[in-house]
Amino acid sequence: MLRLLTEKDVKIVLEREEEFLPIRGNCSAVDPITDAATEELILKQLKRGNDWAWCTVHISVEWKGFFGHSYLGCCSYKSEKDFVENSGYYADMVQEALSDLNCTIQGTYANLKTLEG
């Protein structure tokens, strides 16, 4: 059994990616008035150049050429800093990406063991 990698072992990369789902109908689900106000707020932020106003967040972790990933779509934040410090998702996404990485490495190790002679 291989030991599991931790945050100390990996390089963590946070990226903002384009969100392909439309803002309308996907940014809020409170009530029609609140939803419309939220949609307009996001659209205004995008017009002002805030790319974090509507995006997908991608966290990847890397260890010696192996990668793990975590994605969160339909996000709206003031900035990258706002996402990291205030969303409550950053730490969970890092752990999810680490789990993905560890599963990949464990699977590769198991496959390589079948080559032993």
Hey, what are 37's tokens?
Answer: 């106000």
Tell me the pTM.
0.91
Q: What is the pLDDT, as a whole number, of residue 1?
A: 75
**Contact criterion met (CB below 8 Å) for 70 and 90:** no
Q: How far apart are CA 97 and CA 101, in angstroms?
A: 6
Q: pLDDT tens, 58-99?
A: 999 999 999 999 999 999 999 999 999 999 999 999 999 999
